[in-house]
Amino acid sequence: MEEVEVAPPQKHEVRIKILFTSLCHTDVYFWEAKGQTPLFPRIFGHEAGGIVESVGEGVTDLQPGDHVLPIFTGECGDCPHCHSEESNMCDLLRINTERGGMIHDGESRFSINGKPIHHFLGTSTFSEYTVVHSGQVAKINPDAPLDKVCIVSCGLSTGLGATLNVAKPKKGQSVAIFGLGAVGLAAAEGARIAGASRIIGVDLNPSRFDQAKKFGVTEFVNPKDHDKPVQQVIAEMTNGGVDRSVECTGSVQAMIQAFECVHDGWGVAVLVGVPSKDDAFKSHPMNFLNERTLKGTFFGNYKPKTDIPGVVEKYMNKELELEKFITHTVPFSEINKAFDYMLKGESIRCIITMGA
């Protein structure tokens, strides 16, 4: 734990007092320096909730006291992506894992004795105060409990939106979810909300199956239990294939399985998991010609500022359940425990309480 200085927000920036943050696997991945060019020292963290403390020049849609979720990707409102109803991949503010400073001037707002500390994903929420571009800040209902809705700012929305916004299962349809980590469970929650009749969870870890029942998963397939391809197993279980599938592992093998397990004529498969950089997969073109669809998604196709407040409202209206995603809570001083829980696979989400 270090004391850092957090500079005032510059043009189009806000300074936020973080009240609750949670650990996402992406933080662990970059902390282990498995990502692209590692930057250190760096303040990680990108799933959080807090209150605006001050705003920089040109910020008109946020003011001190607003309850907000900082988000790892943004919405400038001006680029072709932001003007498109179909895209959330803002040209200015889309996720950038390499950038260690702010867009406005390339400088960091964090320092120790005058030495800069790098930012992470433009959010750096493992700090009591942080500075974020206003296009990466979603203003939410002040009545929403920040210790619950903070998880909406990353993994939950990624999985939920992959199902609700991209796969779009109809009521009564069947859905297969590949990978039952936090994102996969959020995808299952989306299928539950959509009224899917069967939600088939696919995972190599059988200990995840029991937990997944709370998220609407009705059946489980462990590829290790079968001597035939998992797409064949699912096709046999579902009379020709599932109506929708959502892949949340990043494994190329699972991507092929997720695509090939959907029903011909109308099946839709959605890829969410991030592959390794040299990955490629192949599938016979007949799988497409037989009217299967393969789609990809980023952050559940949600626009951060426009759509994320609505996801919070789904929770407020009791349509979306968040409590079951939160398995642990630790004070900020014990943040290392959150890393331990995740590395051991014991947690779905661990909330880190900043004031404690």
Q: What is the DSSP string of 183-244?
A: HHHHHHHHHHHHT-SEEEEE-S-THHHHHHGGGT--EEE-GGG-SS-HHHHHHHHTTS-BSE
Determine the pLDDT at residue 355.
83
Are both 175 and 220 inside the same structural domain?
Answer: yes
Average pLDDT over the chain, rounded to whole? 97
Are both 215 and 344 inside the same structural domain?
Answer: no
Number of domains in the chain: 2
State how far the Cα of 75 lies from the Cα of 337, in Å rounded to an integer. Answer: 33
Are both 139 and 34 inside the same structural domain?
Answer: yes
| CATH of residue 13 | 3.90.180.10
Are both 76 and 52 inside the same structural domain?
Answer: yes
- Asked whether residue 37 carries a pLDDT value surpassing 90, the answer given is no
Are both 246 and 183 inside the same structural domain?
Answer: yes
Average pLDDT over residues 99-116: 97
- Asked whether residue 124 carries a pLDDT value surpassing 90, the answer given is yes
Q: Indicate whether 303 belongs to any domain.
A: no
β-pair partners for 14: 55, 132
- Asked whether residue 35 carries a pLDDT value surpassing 90, the answer given is no
Active site residue ranges: 24-26, 46-47, 76, 79, 82, 90, 94, 154, 349
State how far the Cα of 224 lies from the Cα of 207, in Å rounded to an integer. Answer: 13
pTM given for the model: 0.97
Q: Please write the tens of the pLDDT for every residue from 187-216.
A: 999 999 999 999 999 999 999 999 999 999
Q: Indicate whether 308 belongs to any domain.
A: no
Q: Residue length, the chain?
A: 356
Q: Please write the tens of the pLDDT for every residue from 246-273.
A: 999 999 999 999 999 999 999 999 999 9
Average pLDDT over residues 321-348: 96
Q: Please write the tens of the pLDDT for every residue from 133-155.
A: 999 999 999 999 999 999 999 99
Q: Which domain holds residue 271?
A: 159-298
Are both 143 and 200 inside the same structural domain?
Answer: no
State how far the Cα of 286 lies from the Cα of 272, in Å rounded to an integer. Answer: 23
Are both 93 and 127 inside the same structural domain?
Answer: yes
Determine the pLDDT at residue 325.
98
Q: Indicate whether 305 belongs to any domain.
A: no
Are both 180 and 277 inside the same structural domain?
Answer: yes
Confidence of residue 356 (pLDDT cuts 50, 70, 90): low
State how far the Cα of 142 lies from the Cα of 134, in Å rounded to an integer. Answer: 18
Average pLDDT over residues 166-193: 98
Q: Identify whether the C-beta of residue 98 lies closer than 8 Å to the C-beta of residue 37.
A: yes
Rg (CA), the chain: 20
State how far the Cα of 108 lies from the Cα of 123, in Å rounded to an integer. Answer: 12
Are both 278 and 330 inside the same structural domain?
Answer: no
For β-strands 110-112 and 268-271, DSSP reports them as: unpaired
β-pair partners for 131: 15
